[in-house]
Structure 1
Amino acid sequence: MTLVVRSASLALMSMVLLGPTAAGADDAATGVVVPDSGDRAGLLALVDLIVRRLSLADEVAAAKLADGRPIADPVRERRLLDAVAALAARSGTAPEAGVRFFRAQIEAGKMVQRGLHARWRAHPELRPRRHPDLAGEVRPRLDRLTPPLLRLLGETEPVRASDGRCWSGLAAARLAVEARTGLDRLHRDALDAALAPLCDPAQADRVT
């Protein structure tokens, strides 16, 4: 995933900065299938929401460090995945696709938490001074993101299933969001994990 994003970065950044080109046009220099503006809009919204969810992992990490809680919470994770499966079924998204996607979001969030805990233990001066209420404040905000994430997962299914368009569209969306949010290396690596289920890995060679 990371290699795909970086190999096409110059061409895709031009797409982001210069605006839409012809729908489905091939970039002769890179072999990237340029997604149409509708594709970009849906994937951009999805990546943006994924990054918003990842940013809440910082607050989860701060709360757990203050309370001495472990990062992994199998009971909470199982409850979330069961809820996702039920909600996906009601919304017309395949439950297994929703569960696979949210399992990746959980693992990405734990990557951020582990990285931050290691950083804060090595550099106590960097520890956050504010310790948010995990159950009363942070988790409700996480839970409010679940329905729109599932909705966007379903809405982007046609482009994500389309040969070549998923990888190029996702790379363009990622570059746009990263340029706006300035993610550090830890959060970029976690974003790799969060985005991993969205495209068919077999398509990767078509856009490198």
Structure 2
Amino acid sequence: MRPATIAFVLLAAGPLRAEGGPLPLIDERLELMRDEAAWRYARNAPVEDLAREAISLQRAMVDAQAIGLDPGAARAFFTAKNAAEKEIQSCFMHRWSMGEEDPPEMVPDMSGELRPRLFELEFEILDAILAYDGPPITAEIFFEAVAVDCLSPDTAEALRSGLTDFFELEE
């Protein structure tokens, strides 16, 4: 099944955990970056993959537009999300390489386990953004809900700002 078809099937199924808004899903996605970092660390693979990022960003914009969200807001949010993910992965890989902590002994299967869940979360995040009708997502609310190790306050604020771009367009 093609990614666009998967997006349509998932989004047509109705709000996926939309009652919690996008924040728990964003937190879950960012928490998975430790697993992705472990996979990369075990293979000595770089954190940055600009070609994959470009494809992912384009797909997110198309998927956002397909469900009625602004593709420009999607670009801002997913660009910030990519930066946050790279920051988290780099932080963990640095800790492991410097001996500050031991790398995980169990490394997830990227193609069979981790990547499918990451794709699924992107669709769920878009769906939750579309369905969200809660209070404005202030910095306090965001930082309480998205409290991921290795995520700097500045990067988290950029991610929150990218997220709120979706809602500012509606006003």
- Unmatched tracts of structure 1, length 5 or more: 1-40, 160-164, 204-208
> Does 2:162 correspond to 1:197?
yes
Higher helix share: 1
* Correspondence list, 1:183-194, <5 A: 183-184=148-149, 186-187=150-151, 189=153, 191-194=156-159
Equivalent residue for 2:50? 74
CA contact (8 A) 1:71 1:110 kept: yes
CA contact (8 A) 1:58 1:116 kept: yes
Equivalent residue for 2:136? 166
Pick aligned residue for 1:131 from 74, 85, 107:
107
TM (normalized to structure 1)?
A: 0.62
Across the aligned residues of Structure 1 and Structure 2, the Cα RMSD in angstroms comes to 2.7
TM (normalized to structure 2)?
A: 0.74
Q: Distance in 2 between matches of 1:144 and 1:167?
A: 23
* Correspondence list, 1:37-186, <5 A: 44-123=20-99, 126-156=102-132, 166-168=136-138, 171-172=140-141, 174-175=143-144, 177=145, 183-184=148-149, 186=150
Larger gyration radius, structure 1 or structure 2: 1
CA contact (8 A) 2:142 2:160 kept: no
Q: Percent identity?
A: 28
**1:131-181 deviation per Cα after TM superposition (whole angstroms, max 9, x unaligned):** 22222221111000111111222334x76xxxxx6254x523542x36xxx
Q: How many residues align?
A: 149
Change (3 A) 1:71 1:196: same
- Unmatched tracts of structure 2, length 5 or more: 1-16
Q: For residue 107 of structure 2, what is the amino acid of its counterpart? A: H
